[in-house]
Amino acid sequence: GKLKNGQSITLADGTVIHPDQVLGESELSKYFIVVCGLLPQEEELMKYITSNTELNRFQTGQVDSETGGTLHCIVHLSPAATVNTPLYQTWVNSFGPLVTHIYTGAGTSATTHSSFIATTTTCNKMHLTTPDLFPTMHNVYTGLHDSVPEVDDKNTNQVAAVPLLKFHLLPVRSQGVEFPTLIDCSALAQALYNDVTGESAENATKVNTALANLEVVKEVLTTKSIVDSTIQPVNGIHTAAASQLLHSGVEGKISFLGTGCSIPSKYRNVSGILLQLNNSAAISSGRDGKGVVKSLLIDAGEGTWAQMQRLAYEADHKERNVTRTKSSYTATTTLPTLLDIQYTLASQLRVVWVSHPHADHHLGLVRVIIERKTALLTYSSMNSSASSHTEVEPLIVIAPPSVLAFLHEYSLL
């Protein structure tokens, strides 16, 4: 400690050690600031922060007027509604162009990156073999958030945070923002195919045969006449009801968000199955000319809501790509926003059924309930007068008593 403080020390044998013998040249301090999440209505707190002398001492050329240290980065945890206010933006700009501002609050990112690189890679490999069963998990979902002005240009000092984004404070030679490397999904799939088929002629034959068989299976499953002809009596009970349902206009879709495991991994996720029923016979009552869709969620492990958002985005993205080939497509066609995706999921979801009280079957339930209510209220407030009171249709939760007790206790917090 004495050497660090500039004092010499004497060893037992009388040797004197001076600070310059063991210490390198001192460097000025490097600072960063993290600003807590401020809400737009917290005007007094915002005024306090923007006029705080401890923070504002860096406003003169990035250098601390007291210690000579330099400020390099400010991380903003506030939502877009706060950081977009004139008062906040004036304060941000007062630090000059050499300070990097990273926005991490809700609605401040123009893109959303997948932080699960191994999972994204694995899903895209499986997508190569069976595209209809395993949708593409894009590394970037453009348009899921409303961007902060001038944040989505990497050449400015204002950066929209994404998962795996890094800011290097030291060493000085590496100082600055490091953006995550994006996964090229198409190149990944082709590389996988080349690796497998390139090992041997036998492997190439097996892979091509398997892919051909999958096309046959897909054709069979999508042909109603073939499916209808295969309906047979089971245990003496004729399945005429099944045949009637097949042609009733009610179509279903099952999405496996996870098949059950104690902890998530890149191969298996915690339990969650989304059942969506689309009554295509009731087109007139659907939004945008679509059938009425209602969904049932079976189990809700951690991350279930995020999984639902990814699948909903992929489905919407795929549908919009198909629309581009039609005459109705125009250049004004835009990608779905985060609110669009959340409202679609929230308005469709009517029931959640939890099989048993293990954590990997219900830890995501609270998030589903909260996000559903928030999405419905937000969408309603944006599409109705401010004076109207919005009632959210309750979500039906069927679960063991212990899970319901957990939800009740959580609601009291």
* Element of type H or E holding 333: none
Owner of token pair 């079957």: 361
DSSP assignment of 148-174 equals PTT-S-TTSSEEE--TT-EEE-SSGGG
What pLDDT shows up at residue 388?
A: 52
What pLDDT shows up at residue 244?
A: 57
Owner of token pair 């310059």: 20
Could you report the per-residue pLDDT of 278-310, keeping only the tens digit for each?
Answer: 765 443 344 444 556 789 999 999 989 988 888
* Residue segments in the chain with a per-residue pLDDT below the cut of 70: 60-66, 106-114, 129, 137-155, 183-190, 192-193, 196-200, 207, 211, 214-250, 279-292, 317-336, 384-390
DSSP assignment of 201-256 equals HHHHHHHHHHHHHHHHHHHHHT-HHHHHHT---BTTB--HHHHHHHTSSEEEEEEE
DSSP 8-state assignment for residue 31: E
What pLDDT shows up at residue 398?
A: 96
Label residue 137 exposed, middle or buried (CB < 10 Å: 0-12, 13-18, 19+): buried
| Distance separating the N- and C-terminal Cα atoms of the chain | 47
What pLDDT shows up at residue 328?
A: 43
Label residue 269 exposed, middle or buried (CB < 10 Å: 0-12, 13-18, 19+): buried
Closest to 360 (Cα-Cα) out of 270, 259, 264, 257 = 270
Buried b (16+ CB within 10 A) or exposed e, 210-222: eeeeeeeeeeeee
pTM above 0.75, yes or no: no
Query: What tokens does 334 get?
Result: 């835009």
What pLDDT shows up at residue 242?
A: 52
176 φ/ψ sector (left φ>0, alpha ψ -120 to 50, else beta) = left
What pLDDT shows up at residue 333?
A: 46
